[in-house]
Amino acid sequence: MTCKGICIRYKAIRPTTGVGRYFSGQKRCQICEIFIKWGGFCCPCCGYKLRSKPKKLKYKNKLREKMQLQVQSIPILN
Ligand SMILES: [Zn+2]
Ligand SMILES: [Zn+2]
């Protein structure tokens, strides 16, 4: 699975601020390393399965919140 350069034709334009790429129907190809506007499940260029949802974004946010809480709860030793 390699990039054949076809994906450039489907390259997605960066959406206006406040709207996520995945939300606006854009999909990410890991092989071509590009965001494309494409209705299919697989990349029209390399044929690799496209990612249409952000990976574990909720989990990451939760983890960050937890870490911030831990930092805040540590008493200052001075
Ligand atoms: Zn490609
Ligand atoms: Zn691709």
Round to whole Å and give the CA distance between 78 and 28.
49
- Does residue 1 form part of some domain? no
DSSP bridge partners of 34: 29
Q: What is the pLDDT at residue 52?
A: 78
Where in the sequence is the domain holding 12, given as residue range(s)? 6-73
User: For residue 62, is it within any domain?
Assistant: yes
Residue type, 18: G
Mind listing the pLDDT tens digit for each residue in 44-58? 999 999 987 765 556
- Pick from 47, 38, 50: nearest CA to 3: 47
Neighbours of ion ligand 1 (CB under 5 A): 3, 7, 32, 45
pLDDT exceeds 90 at position 11: yes
Determine, yes or no, domain membership for 30.
yes
Task: Please determine, for residue 68, whether its predicted confidence score (pLDDT) is greater than 60.
Answer: yes
Q: For residue 34, give the nearest of 45, 20, 24 by alpha carbon.
A: 45
Mean pLDDT over each residue of the chain, to the nearest integer: 79
pTM of the model: 0.59
76 C-alpha vs ligand 2 centroid, how far in Å? 50
Domain count, the chain: 1
